Structure 1
Amino acid sequence: MLKNRHTTISLIVVILFGFVLFYIGTDGFKAFTAETARLKELKEEKPVFPQVTMEDSKGRTYSLSEFENKYVLITFLYTSCGTVCPQLEKNMAELYERLPQYVGKEIVFLSISFDPTRDDPDRLETYRKAFGSDGDTWRMARIVDKDELDLLLERFGVIVIPDGNGNFTHNSAFYLVDKTGRLSEVMDYTRIEEAADTIATLIESEKGNKK
């Protein structure tokens, strides 16, 4: 009887200890996965978009200052992707269509390739046309300099793992950069309506504060 009691107490202690470790490890149950933890950290840190030079499908080169005084909605992709990226950009196109009153005025869209060797301007131009991007208020670009590209991916928590066969395993989201060049929101790319509402609310709130 006493032995069973000790066994029960030991089991309870182990469970409680594990519970505490889980609580600490998940930051109070707010981060159940590495991806959730990454998103939580990004939203808290709000990193600044670094100084990088982008080249778009028209062969134009510029930095983020090209979109001064505008929000920039960003996706990261590679055009050879046959899985996530086409759906990501399809959803980007739908989000673009949901915000006509803001596009070009308060917000621009930007799809950045992390496969700059293959995704030259001609290839980006083909991809742009496939998704109905106008090449102006929604641009597709690459960052040729590897160090600059790596810095941006690291700062925004974008994980890109080559498989050795020309493909990549990577995470995907909608990244919203505010008018100061700081990451404002990271949104689930599958929740298009929710993302549209978030963006519209931010823009309208800013307009209201200026009155």
Structure 2
Amino acid sequence: MPRLVSPLKISSLTLALVWAPLVLAQEVAVPTPRAASSAPSLDVEVPDVALVDQTGREVKLWTDLVRGHTVAINFIFTRCKTICSPMTATVARVQKELGPRSNVRFISITLDVANDTPERMARFAEPFKPGPGWSFLTGEPAKVKEALVALGGYVPDKEAHRPTVLVGNAVSNTWTRVDGLGSPSAILSAIREVQAASAGPTELGPQARDAAAQDAAAAKYFTNTELVDQHGKTHRFYEDLVRGRKVLINFAFTACKGACSPITKHLTQVQEKLGGRVGKDITMITLSVDPANDTPKSLGTFTKKLGVQPGWYFLTGARENITLVLKKLGGYVDDPDAHNTTLLIGDSATGMWVKSPAMARVENIVYAVEHLNDPR
């Protein structure tokens, strides 16, 4: 595939774009976490093995699911007649209690890879109504075993497994185990303690230190400025839309008589090709360059007309808020008609960003997203 641009690997998240250089501080104060108080912190190294979720999509355990998030991980198998269903029901109550804006990822890994296909995992999960951000994982036996061993879930006899939920945060390197058959409040408490630990002092391992530095730099740069989407929902820009995901970002306005509608229609094909990943580990963002006129209602009409699907956020808001974000990304213009038509593709966790013409071939854009962090 012809490269869209020479990729830019950024140290401490320096985002350098030819039309508007954007530089982040390369030295950041790394938040040093303390262990959760309910139990001693565990030493966990999450392998970046490729597994398969309940939709049949391949995901990497560290890169796609754990990095940048607090996670709750348990171990189940679909033919289990004892603890697996009640434990999953408890975890489902925890996810519901945290609500849809939670940044917590839930992961259930099979102990019976010989029988648990993605389809069976999906059927097992269905009665519990898991929300977005909950992955039921299977895959190649060796890779599943590697994950189970690393996370402390492996047992030679699956029937003898314990109802354990591993709660942790890889940024702070804080991990603890909770009884999955206890009350949901115990798991919620562990999650909140692990989240709080990311703000306290302790020693980080090299992997966690790098991730913490990258996250701190990204949060400082992108900011948690509040913007409003086409449905009227308010989002914190970094934490809700950028952190822990690959992102595609472009600029448009609803009264545009030129490129905006064709570009949006073109990018709906990109969204279709990326499939169910959009809204999970990939976010699509269009920032209005005309916040004085682009209301959530007008953005909603615009997106409905052009076939935009969930997982793609068209953002407006107070002029000072959206101007701040536009300037950070090199998208601010005094005259909306003069806005640029570049597509930014990036991963704040790795600091890798590339730019592409928004009307580049769909296959090229999709390839750039899927292979963004490949070694060059």
TM-score band, normalised by shorter chain: 0.5 to 0.7
Aligned residues: 163
Structure 1 residue 140 corresponds to structure 2 residue 309? no
Mind listing any 5+ residue stretches in structure 1 that lack a counterpart? 1-35, 207-211
| 2: CA distance, partners of 1:114 / 1:183 | 25
| Structure 2 partner of 1:7 | none
1:70 and 1:49, CA in 2 relative to 1: closer, same or farther beyond 3 A? same
Matched-pair identity in %? 23
Aligned partner (choices 60, 63, 84) of residue 236 of structure 2: 63
Which of the pair has the greater relative contact order for Cα pairs under 8 Å at 6+ separation? Answer: 1
Q: Is 1:195 matched with 2:369?
A: no
Cα separation, partners in 2 of 1:159 and 1:129, compared to 1, 3 Å: same
Shift of 1:168: 2.3
**Measured at CA, do residues 196 and 43 of structure 1 come closer, stay the same or move farther in structure 2, by a change above 3 Å?**
farther
* SS in structure 2 of the partner of residue 100 of structure 1: helix
Q: Report what 1:114 is aligned to.
A: 289
83-92 or 96-105: which moved more? 96-105
Which residues of 2 match residues 147-166 of structure 1 at below 5 A? 147-162=320-335
Shift in Å, 1:201: 0.9
Matches within 5 A, 1:121-132: 121-132=296-307
Alpha-carbon distance, 1:101 to partner: 5.0
- In 2, distance between residues paired with 1:69 and 1:63? 14
1:87 aligns with 2:226: no
Q: One-letter code of the match for 1:143?
A: G
C-alpha distance in structure 2 between counterparts of 1:95 and 1:176, whole Å: 12
Structure 1 residue 120 displacement after superposition: 0.8
Superposed CA deviations along residues 14-56 of structure 1, whole A, max 9, x for unmatched, are xxxxxxxxxxxxxxxxxxxxxx8426x4599998423311101
RMSD: 2.9
Contact 1:56–1:140 (CA under 8 A) maintained in structure 2: yes
Following TM superposition, the consecutive aligned residue runs of length 4 or more in structure 1 with deviations greater than 6 angstroms are 43-47
TM-score (norm 2): 0.39
Other structure's SS at 2:372 match: helix
Distance 1:58 1:182 in 2: 30
Which one has a larger percent helix, Structure 1 or Structure 2? 1
Q: What is the deviation of 1:123? A: 0.6
**Which residue, 170, 176, 183 being the options, matches 2:339?**
170
Residue identity opposite 1:198 in structure 2? A
